[in-house]
Amino acid sequence: MKNESAQMNTIEGVSAAVLMMITLFFVTQSSIITPQTEMVLDTQLKQLGNDALRVLDSEEITNNYTTNNTMLEMYVANWSADDLDSDLDMLLTDNIMYNLDFVHLETDLNMNRSRVITSGAPVENSVVVSRLVSLHSDDDVSTRWNLTIAPTDVKVVDVRLTLWYI
């Protein structure tokens, strides 16, 4: 009897240890540990992307007198990929790469996505920011858009910027 009780002590110790290790194993496996710095980098990247599109889409950047359209509206209407590329290159920091798409709804309600600027394949932690731009019939719309806009109509284009750090 005495011996069995002593063995129980050992078994209890071992089982308690196993229980703790299993609990710890499950805790570490189940919780998603995202390093804080990575989340901050994502926020920073998203913020710079949003700022770039927002600045290009502000009335103030055209210095008020030449046109009523913003730079972004003109670039989208004219399909000026090179101008847009050089502006984004200046607005974003040197360690950022980006792709840019124009996304719009065709008359047959198909989603049309056109790659306008390609810098390469986005990496795993890329972020996407976007801004809606309206094209009007009196805008200087490029033939590349292949669409006619009725005077009472507007065409909404989603400008999508995919950014990642290199």
Partner 1 sequence: MDFLTGITIFLVTFIAVALFIPGMFTPFESETVDLNSIAYRTSVILVEDPGRWNNTTIGGSDWERNVTTRANLKRIGLAIDKDNPNVLHLNKIKFFNNDSFMNNSEVIYNLSLYRRIGTTNVTYGYNISIVELGDGTIIAERGEIISSTSGDVVSMKRTVLAQTGYYAYLDGENLTQEDPVANTKPWINVTGSQDEDVVFEITNFNVTNPASTKYQWIKLNNSAFTNYNLTTGTEYNVWKKTNTTDFVLSPPVTSPINRTDTLKFVINRTLFFAGNNTLEMNFGGIDFKGGDPLEYTDSLLPIYELARLTVRVWS
Q: Which two tokens stand for residue 88?
A: 């984004």
Applying CB under 8 A, among 1, 30, 65, 121 the residue interacting with partner 1 is 65
Indicate the Cα dihedral angle 84, 87, 89, 92, nearest 10°.
-110
C-alpha to C-alpha distance for 102 and 159, rounded to whole angstroms:
5
**Residues linked to residue 21 through DSSP beta bridges, in sequence order:** none
Q: Which two tokens stand for residue 61?
A: 């950047």
C-alpha to C-alpha distance for 40 and 164, rounded to whole angstroms:
13
Query: Among the candidate windows 33-41, 114-122, 131-139, 142-150, which touches partner 1 by CB under 8 A?
Result: 33-41
Applying CB under 8 A, among 91, 103, 117, 149 the residue interacting with partner 1 is 91
Q: Based on the shown chain and the rule CB under 8 A, indicate whether residue 132 belongs to the binding site for partner 1.
A: no
Applying CB under 8 A, among 1, 29, 30, 90 the residue interacting with partner 1 is 90
- Going by their DSSP bridges, the two strands 127-136 and 96-105 should be labelled as unpaired
Q: Based on the shown chain and the rule CB under 8 A, indicate whether residue 67 belongs to the binding site for partner 1.
A: no
Query: Among the candidate windows 14-22, 122-130, 134-142, 147-155, which touches partner 1 by CB under 8 A?
Result: 14-22
Q: Based on the shown chain and the rule CB under 8 A, indicate whether residue 95 belongs to the binding site for partner 1.
A: no
- CB neighbours (10 Å) of residue 8? 10
Binding site for partner 1 (CB under 8 A): 6-7, 9-14, 16-17, 20-21, 24, 27-28, 31, 33-37, 40, 43-44, 47-48, 51-52, 54-55, 58, 60-61, 63-65, 90-93
